[in-house]
Structure 1
Amino acid sequence: MIACNFSFHYTSFKCEKNFGVFLAVITIDLTSISVTSAVISMAGKVMKKESLSIEGKQGEQVSLLIQNQIKKLLSLFENEPIQIKAVGVSVPGICYSKTGLVWAPNIPGWDNYPLLQDISYLLRGKNIRIKIDNNRTCCILGEHWQGAAKETKNAVYLAVGSGIGAGILIDGKILHGFNDAVGAIGWFAVDRTYKDAYSEKGCLESLASGKGIITRVKESLNIIDDYSGYFKDIKIQNLVIGDVFDAYKQKDPIAQKIIRESVELWGITAANIISAFNPEILIFGGGVFGPGIFFIDEIKSEAKKWAQPLSIDKVKFSPSQLGNNAGLFGAGHLALGRF
């Protein structure tokens, strides 16, 4: 059975071992810079894992890389007492449940890419189910299965990396919306003055994502003639988000200003999410909330200024327990049919 998101009926696997054969799934976590593939057992044990860069690849080239990883893993376990029952894929954008097309704006050639069709053809004749969903949904599913949201039916995963998104679990159900775009909070309006740049990536994402922060640092450096701070010895074209946080620790004035403003924006974002959805736990993940995890208490303090008071007093702010593996585990959870 093949499905994208939750648009087709399916039955979950009930036991890990079947007639002496262990049941497992292949999981794929695609980001704007890499593809990670793994085989995960029904108990959540990672049996094999590999990450590859997609730098310089676009369109069908990225799909072929995914397909080759699936073929490689199927071949690797072909003679083992392990049966691959499903493939789950996490994508950095939207998987349209009615068509199986994927919109991934940070991957060239993926405006409406037929990923489900490609993988279906690859696995033709095999009794292997295919499930595809967006990264933010997979991250909250991963945390619900093996991470910080194990014991709750109401949780939100706030992903801040190259983009910004939210995976939303309410009353035990994942929210998708009319066009499968629920959680695209990079388009939150957090600036009273509209700028043309917001039309492409959204206001919040332009200001407080990893890419947004780096862009703002570069813009600031370009307009300062006598700058002598932390970034003066760094090749600006190679700047990464970790450099900005390092500069913050060294009290660089540009980094201090932009990070302080970002903390404020993350707090306002958290307040909006909490007021709208009343979660029990708000989980912070993505590449920025590696180094940015130390600001969670400050983000909560900012959120308290803005959020519905009864909701903010009950919610727990937590770092991701799965880190960069949240989407990978979530794709596995999705493939297992437990949601």
Structure 2
Amino acid sequence: MKRTPTVIGIDIGGTKISAALFHHHGDLLHKEVQPLARRKGEEVIALIGTMMQSLMDHAEGWTYKVVAIGACVPGIYDAIKKTVWAPNIPDWNHIPLQDELKKYLDDQSIHIVLESDRSCYILGEVWKGCAKDCADAIFIAVGTGIGAGILSGGRIINGSGGVAGAIGWMALEPPYDEKYDAWGNLEHYASGDGIARGAVELLEKNRTVTSLLDAVPTDQITAHHVFDAYEKQDSVAVEVIEKAIGYWGMALANLVSLFNPRKVIFGGGVFGPADQFLDRILEEAKQWAQPLSIEEIQLETSALGGNAGLIGAGYLALTTLNDQVHDE
């Protein structure tokens, strides 16, 4: 019996793994989600292997054939060394993930291809989101950290070691401070964790200032607390968010000046609540950016939300298929 080719997309996050079966025309056929639940190292690899097998069994029952698997990894994929570094998953320190996942496949002809999460985000938007038909687009992911998926001339820019787009290390405000060592200047103030850090720094610096955030233990303050306090015009929250808006605008300006994209898309857990600031971010960027380039861009928030990485991973798998596989 002739079986229809399908692919699997896998989004490996810091707290959960999402995996889905995609028709080669792009339709999502079946999706599964599993929490990491404190798994680390090989335990996470085993969970991914179990999910791959479950989706392949599902495909078999529908007379589909899985021909490729794409995986979105939460860190850096070095395509030369074939290793993954994912700081949010314990013991994933330059591991040969592609080779390890191959061990879970009975059919070694199935292609497995990996890419960083930020690159998968922009691929997802190009395929199913608001960057369709774009050859030059950037996805700025603002969540726990900050990264940028960069599509230029129809190609993902990864750099020599897969680190391109790690924009959390953008230097936007001198002088240098040792507190930037772990994640960089931009990420320190403008990521989700950075917004929380900024609030704690202000509370500790200005102990005489009364804030709604005083009701939350400092080690439990999150970006959501800060955004809620901002809506009530809390002075500490307003100062933190205003600084983040400035940082987002400067980062946007730098990326636009460097890459001259047609579209820039903000996504991740912070956008969300920061969607309301898009116009202000653009106005800030216009003060810093190359003037012709900034006037050309379309600035939007993600059309795919939390599914951008999963959909991008599915698209990544599809792009590995040659014409013969499509036609079989």
- Specify the alignment match of 1:301 in structure 2: 283
Alpha-carbon distance change, 65 to 321 in structure 1, aligned in 2, over 3 angstroms = same
Separation (CA, whole Å) in 2 of partners of 1:219 and 1:50: 40
- Specify the alignment match of 1:75 in structure 2: 57
- Give the TM-score normalised by structure 1: 0.90
Report SS of the residue matched to 1:287: coil
Question: Is 1:149 aligned with 2:131?
Answer: yes
Cα displacement string for residues 23-66 of structure 1 (whole angstroms, at most 9, x for unaligned residues): 22111111222211111222322222222222422222222221
- Specify the alignment match of 2:187 in structure 1: 205
Separation (CA, whole Å) in 1 of partners of 2:315 and 2:188: 31
Name which of structure 1's ranges 246-255 and 219-228 shifts more when overlaid on structure 2: 219-228
Separation (CA, whole Å) in 2 of partners of 1:80 and 1:147: 27
Equivalent residue runs for 1:173-252 within 5 Å: 173-226=155-208, 228-252=210-234
- Specify the alignment match of 2:11 in structure 1: 29
- Specify the alignment match of 2:30 in structure 1: 48
C-alpha contact (below 8 Å) 2:195/2:222 kept by paired residues: no
Separation (CA, whole Å) in 1 of partners of 2:41 and 2:225: 31
C-alpha contact (below 8 Å) 1:44/1:329 kept by paired residues: no
* Structure 1 unaligned residues grouped into runs of 5+: 1-18
Report SS of the residue matched to 1:122: coil
Separation (CA, whole Å) in 2 of partners of 1:318 and 1:225: 38
Report SS of the residue matched to 1:40: strand
Separation (CA, whole Å) in 2 of partners of 1:199 and 1:238: 22
- Give the TM-score normalised by structure 2: 0.93
- Specify the alignment match of 1:133 in structure 2: 115
Alignment identity in percent?
A: 40
Separation (CA, whole Å) in 2 of partners of 1:240 and 1:199: 21
C-alpha contact (below 8 Å) 1:161/1:210 kept by paired residues: yes
The one-letter code sitting in structure 1 at the alignment partner of 2:234 is D
Separation (CA, whole Å) in 1 of partners of 2:4 and 2:107: 21
Separation (CA, whole Å) in 2 of partners of 1:149 and 1:298: 21
Alpha-carbon distance change, 200 to 237 in structure 1, aligned in 2, over 3 angstroms = closer
Name which of structure 1's ranges 213-222 and 111-120 shifts more when overlaid on structure 2: 213-222
- Specify the alignment match of 1:336 in structure 2: 318
The one-letter code sitting in structure 2 at the alignment partner of 1:192 is P
Report SS of the residue matched to 1:89: strand
1:223 offset after TM fit, Å?
4.1
Separation (CA, whole Å) in 2 of partners of 1:77 and 1:338: 19
Name which of structure 1's ranges 218-227 and 137-146 shifts more when overlaid on structure 2: 218-227
C-alpha contact (below 8 Å) 2:140/2:148 kept by paired residues: yes
Alpha-carbon distance change, 64 to 79 in structure 1, aligned in 2, over 3 angstroms = same
* Structure 2 unaligned residues grouped into runs of 5+: 322-328
Alpha-carbon distance change, 144 to 243 in structure 1, aligned in 2, over 3 angstroms = same
The one-letter code sitting in structure 2 at the alignment partner of 1:182 is A
Report SS of the residue matched to 1:191: coil
Q: Report the count of equivalent residues.
A: 321
